[in-house]
Chain A
Amino acid sequence: QKEVEQNSGPLSVPEGAIASLNCTYSDRGSQSFFWYRQYSGKSPELIMSIYSNGDKEDGRFTAQLNKASQYVSLLIRDSQPSDSATYLCAVFLTGGGNKLTFGTGTQLKVEL
């Protein structure tokens, strides 16, 4: 059973549009959720964290969490070509110790 699942993409959106990235996780008891951005050949960069149900906004980014549905998403408003990257969902799974478990990532392409 996959623990953190993401659609690998690529997800293509036009410049200026809203990109919606989704992630599901297997463990209902999980409490901490993170989105990382990874450019090709580079390391993951933390862009959002969310711990409570609902929405959390930071600039053009909004993270959404629904623990009952075991679902976390990332919205990117006014998408720019520089947003083109792979977006990794990461979760502290209950019983998984103090380690982040990553999904496979969704590749986002923002087209001019």
Chain B
Amino acid sequence: EPEVTQTPSHQVTQMGQEVILRCVPISNHLYFYWYRQILGQKVEFLVSFYNNEISEKSEIFDDQFSVERPDGSNFTLKIRSTKLEDSAMYFCASSEGEGKGYTFGSGTRLTVV
């Protein structure tokens, strides 16, 4: 069964450092997303991406965040200057169309120290 692949599975970084989280969505999917989940809290939307541009972003997705699809397969989330409160599980997801369910990757656990 097709799957969304995320790397790394766990990243520890110092406060103020830049991190890049990587994702390979399912190949025939057109919509891509990043969500995050702080420990014990709900799954929160960060950003959606379609046709090589951001289609929507949440209040969480401020100027410190950016996304990129550098080639035909990868989809990345960059956090420019990490803060302690950025510590969370970050999930990439993709879907084949509007209104369709998402397939989530296994996540990257980001720990900012």
Contact = CB atoms under 8 A, between A and B. Distances in A.
Interface residues of B, number: 23
A105 B37 CA distance: 12
A102 B42 contact: yes
B48 A44 contact: no
Contacts, number: 49
Contacts of A105: 42
A50 to B, nearest CB: 10
Nearest to B50: A98
A99 B101 CA distance: 10
A32 B95 CA distance: 14
Given A42-B106, A44-B104, 17 more contacts: A34-B101, A42-B107, A43-B104, A43-B107, A44-B43, A97-B48, A97-B55, A98-B56, A99-B33, A99-B45, A99-B48, A99-B56, A100-B45, A100-B101, A100-B102, A102-B43, A105-B42
Interface of A: 31-32, 34, 36, 42-46, 49, 88, 92, 97-105
26 contacts: A34-B101, A36-B104, A42-B106, A43-B91, A43-B104, A43-B105, A44-B104, A46-B102, A46-B103, A46-B104, A97-B55, A97-B56, A98-B31, A98-B50, A98-B55, A98-B56, A98-B99, A99-B33, A99-B45, A99-B48, A100-B45, A100-B102, A102-B44, A103-B42, A104-B41, A105-B42
